[in-house]
Structure 1
Amino acid sequence: MDAMDTQDPTYSDDELTAALAEHLASLDRDDSYRVDRVLKRSGVEATELVYFEGSSGGSLGPFVRKRIDASAQIGGAYERLFEAQRAGRRFEHFPRIVDCRRAGDELDVVMEYVEGETLEALVGRLGATPDYAHGLFPALCDAVGELHAGFATAGEPAVPVIHRDLKPSNIIVSGVRYAPNAGMSFSSLVIIDLGIARVWRDGADADTVKFGTRPYAPPEQYGFGQTSVRSDVYALGALLFFCLTGADPKPGRDMREQCETGAIPVPLADAICMAMALDPAKRFANAKALGHAVCAAFELCRPAFSVPGAMPPVAAQAASTASPSPSPSTQQPQNILSPAPARQSLLSRVPEPLGRAWNILICLSLLVFFAGSHFAVFHPTGANQNYPTWFLAVEYFFFVDGLTVLFHFAVLDKRRLRRRFALLDSYRGKKLAKLWLKALGVLLICMIVIVAVANATGVVDTSAS
């Protein structure tokens, strides 16, 4: 849908509802609409800018009307949204539907006209800047989370609604303010075009109808399985790539290579690659988890965004326009997304495949220690033969194995775990060290108490060893 920023509604919600109720009381609803212009047209859907015409010559609007071919098995999400809104539910990130009805094989949906500019137009105007990852993208994840919560009314089970066509032109942002030093702010973010959205069905093997925009659609959307909330997570990863590079991701090409080509810093590239994994099970579990991961990744990259002398993309473009022929020594880089090596953490410079290989070695080492504990409990030697099996089990399975897990976890490459589990990502540096020391202290205290009680009751005599 084209950006909708040319006219202002002059009616409040209550006035609008009352006026529409009078207009829609007529059976000839089509005669009440005046089509101002066609915004978009496809083989199964037409989107129009319309006004309601009153009997006295006045008009009400503008509104957006969609004429959808219901025989194509699309448009049902609008009906669910309309029923939920009529039941009193309010949705922050979706347009308010004022009329929704079927006439034969055609579904007519009339909704509020949302002011603002599309994300596509916004990135075209401001350029690719990391500020999207800080403020706008988490809000977009919240909006998709609202969609996935479903449009159920009171007493109905909440079933996720999958958009299946999240792309830059289907996101409208209003009230955007941007300053190179102050960052970006906006008043609202609305997701539009629910035409091919579908309700998730438990037990379905694949979608009945296959639609979507190729750079933003996951493999399962084209017949390789049923789309789920993780399908929209894939599209969100592609949208983040678009915000940071100004270009659509190229289907079929390795995303890690595309991120490197686009000079996207490693933490943000990690989030994109995980969100766009070909296997849905390897993606973020939901939009909220992706939003948390992107916020954390942005904070890791923040020093690179504030390097003295570095100029944000918008300012750099303005400077190059004002000075057509700058000397090489005074040119500012057009893309500051690549972090300065001196500011990167040591771990962020380690290739992720090497980190995975290291984790495999850690897991193998852990298995060796577990095997040793098992042998010590069930095949005791030396002084251990004097102790009962239950005591050896407590000593080795709780204390020794607990210490082993703590020390192995301390040297684990936790990047993938942090992206998957938001709770773990909230523990870093001193906060993680304090938690680790507390766990170690609990183990030591518990073992001291167990040994003391065992000695005092005469169940075991550790002094004899």
Structure 2
Amino acid sequence: MDTQSPTYSDDELTASLVEHLASLDRDDSYRVERVLKLSDVETTELVYFEGSGGGSLGPFVRKRIDASVQIGGAYERLFAAQRAGRRFEHLPRIVDCRRVGDELDVVMEYVEGETLEALVGRLGATTDYARGLYPVLCEAVGELHAGFAAAGEPGVPVIHRDLKPSNIIVSGVRYAPDAGMTFSSLVIIDLGIARVWRDGADADTVKFGTRSYAPPEQFGFGQTSVRSDIYALGALLFFCLTGTDPKPGRDIREQCETYGMPTPLADAVCMAMALDPAKRFASAKALGHAARAAYELCLPAPSPATFSAASVPRVAASQVQRVQQPVALTLPSSANRRSIVSPVMSKCARLLSRIPEPVGRIWNGCVYATTLLLLMGSHFAVFTPTGENRNYPTWFLALEYFFMVDGLVLLITFGMLDRRRLRRRFPVLDRYRGGAFVELWFKALGFMFAVMCVVVVIGNATGVVS
């Protein structure tokens, strides 16, 4: 169900249809064009309304839901809210909703557009989704979380529980890498397993969901909440940025690194998909703002050389004297230096992250063994000196080998390690990736050289070292 094109858009026509259906046998009023989706608890059909005079109206989407498994109630609440006059920008309009025994029949508009799954497949993965489309998707989920209560009444959050690329319909998309992405509407569909938040509940009564997009609590580890949909939104952001579903059971940070995702956006994904609901974003709106801010951080800094005379604003005469001051020459900031290194490091990270972890552990074992041999060599050089080293005092040899040589060995060792397990055990290491890690490494190396130079100078001045 990638592309959809409705043949109606008139509210009065829909209202007349609802009124007419009240006096008819609904089953005889619809012609099934084809089955769109079939499962054990739900059948989704493309239908047309057949009038008594031979005319038809449609298409519509009809869902036949097995209400005995306690699903589909969100459609009834949405239908009641829409009948009461409420309008929802990002949810489908319900035409008819009724129960017949254990079956819930829902007829709704057939939304124009293509699924997010088809859209990403057509345009490819790009960070541009985080600028415009994704924040609107978060607003749409926020509309659900606000509930379907009548105006002036407090709303109880509705949790979708099945947010995934095939349940997001986007229409009117236009995209160019230079101009960005625009679209006319975004609608969330398939509220079949959506549920209303119940204060005090320990867990969901019914456990459904799509594994790649469902949080742990959705499968019996607690009651789903607004933050459960936040987890799914994080997975949707991952999909938009990589073109693939996140793999359940694998560290999400490592998956982001595999695809070379920019660090600010990876941080947003990881926070949204935290296993502990309390560590996720508090609302869909907050996640949307964070994604957009992360996108802005990923943009390249404008080069001073690109400014033209036309782009320089005019200044008042009283300000000219302040403008004509000597300009200090500044070196690139550490952030700019990291931005130069980051592309290379991202490519290396993508390649290294594809290596299976058992291979990484074997590699680490070889690195540790080599490091141990080098450290043992330093021990013998200090306590059993040979050659010219016999002329130096033990404290100087200890400083030279234990601080300088061993320090250099440890720096090289840490740089060569497969650090995936270390990052999981010590989250602080997440701060030092790519250019940040290279910068820290060189700072440590520079510090050791500076200390050693000072010691050598003092030693020469005092005659300890000749």
Contact kept, 8 Å, 2:252 with 2:270, in 1: the verdict is yes
Report the secondary structure of 1:46's partner residue: strand
Q: For 2:65, which of 56, 64, 68 is the aligned residue? A: 68
Deviation by residue 1:144-194 (Cα, 9 ceiling, x = unmatched)? 000000011145431000000000000000000011210100000000000
Partner of 1:442: none
Q: 1:215 aligns with which of 209, 212, 215?
A: 212
Residue matched to 1:3: 2
Separation (CA, whole Å) in 2 of partners of 1:15 and 1:288:
34
Whether 1:19 aligns to 2:25 is no
Q: Is it true that 1:36 corresponds to 2:33 in the alignment?
A: yes
Q: Given residue 171 of structure 1, which amino acid in structure 2 is its aligned partner? A: I
Separation (CA, whole Å) in 2 of partners of 1:183 and 1:133: 11
AA at the equivalent of 1:12: D
- Per the alignment, residue 333 of structure 2 pairs with none
- Report the TM-score when normalising by structure 1: 0.65
Q: How does 1:400-411 map to 2 (within 5 A)?
A: none
Q: Structure 1 residues 343, 80: CA separation in 2 closer, same or farther (over 3 Å shift)?
A: farther
Give per-residue Cα distances to partners, 1:396-423, cap 9 Å, x unaligned. xxxxxxxxxxxxxxxxx9x99xxxxxxx
Aligned: 1:196 with 2:186: no
Q: What is the CA-CA distance between 1:340 and the residue it aligns to?
A: 9.3
How far off its partner does 1:302 sit? 1.1
Q: Aligned equivalents of 1:304 and 1:220: distance in 2?
A: 41
Pairs within 5 Å for 1:237-248:
237-248=234-245
Change (3 A) 1:176 1:344: farther
Structure 2 residue 231 is the aligned partner of structure 1 residue 234: yes
1:342 is the counterpart of 2:339: yes
Q: Which residues in structure 2 correspond to 1:51-450 (within 5 Å)?
A: 51-154=48-151, 156-303=153-300, 341-342=338-339
Decide whether the 8 Å contact of 2:6 with 2:110 is kept in 1.
no
| Number of positions where the alignment pairs a residue of Structure 1 with one of Structure 2 | 316
Aligned-pair distance for 1:26?
A: 2.6
What is the DSSP-based 3-state SS (H/G/I as helix, E as strand, rest coil) of the residue aligned with 1:26? coil
Partners of 1:303 and 1:343 within 8 A in 2: no
Does the 8 Å contact 1:3/1:115 carry over to 2?
no
> Structure 1 residue 19: deviation in Å?
3.4
Superposition deviation, residue 247 in structure 1: 0.3
Shifted more, 53-62 versus 10-19: the winner is: 10-19
Q: C-alpha separation between the residues in 2 aligned to 1:114 and 1:305? A: 41
RMSD: 2.4
Secondary structure of 2:300's counterpart equals helix
Higher gyration radius (CA): 2
The C-alpha deviation readout for 1:62-97, integer Å capped at 9, x for no partner, is: 100000000010000000000000000000000000
Gap change, CA 1:108 and 1:265, over 3 Å in 2: same
Q: TM-score, normalised by structure 2?
A: 0.65
For residue 78 of structure 1, give the secondary structure of its aligned residue in structure 2.
helix
SS of the equivalent of 1:90 reads coil
- Change beyond 3 A, Cα 1:266–1:12: same
Residue identity matched to 1:201 = R
Preserved contact between residue 304 and residue 343 of structure 1 (Cα < 8 Å): no
SS of the aligned residue for 1:202 comes to: coil
Determine what percentage of the aligned residue pairs are the same residue: 80
Q: 1:62 to 1:344 in 2, by over 3 A?
A: farther
Task: Tell me which amino acid in the other structure corresponds to 1:3.
Answer: D
Query: Moved runs in structure 1, 4+ residues, more than 4 A?
Result: none
CA distance in 1, matches of 2:193, 2:302: 38
Letter in 1 for 2:164: K
Output one character per residue of 1:320-357: Cα deviation in whole Å (capped at 9) or x when no partner.
Answer: xxxxxxxxxxxxxxxxxxx9943689xx99xxxxxxxx
Distance, in Å, in 2 between the alignment partners of 1:305 and 1:142 is 30
Tell me, yes or no, if the aligned pair for 2:227 and 2:280 is still in contact at 8 Å: yes
Taking structure 1 as reference, are residues 304 and 30 closer, same or farther at Cα in structure 2, changes over 3 Å only? farther
Q: Which amino acid aligns with 2:56?
A: S
Matching residue's letter, 2:32 = V
Q: Secondary structure at the match of 1:37?
A: strand
Say whether the 8 Å CA contact 1:210–1:221 is kept in structure 2: yes
Give the direction of change, closer, same or farther, for the CA distance of 1:232–1:250 in structure 2 (3 Å limit): same
1:304/1:340 contact within 8 Å kept: no
Aligned equivalents of 1:197, 1:4: Cα separation in 2: 24
Structure 2 alignment gaps of length 5 or more: 306-335, 347-427, 432-466
Q: Which amino acid aligns with 2:295?
A: F
Amino acid at match of 1:187: S
Using the alignment, how far apart are the partners of 1:114 and 1:249 within structure 2?
A: 27
- Give the drift of 1:17: 1.4
Q: Distance in 2 between matches of 1:231 and 1:4?
A: 29
Q: Distance in 2 between matches of 1:340 and 1:286?
A: 35
User: What residue identity is the alignment partner of 1:47?
Assistant: T
Work out the CA distance in 1 between the residues paired with 2:270 and 2:255.
Answer: 10
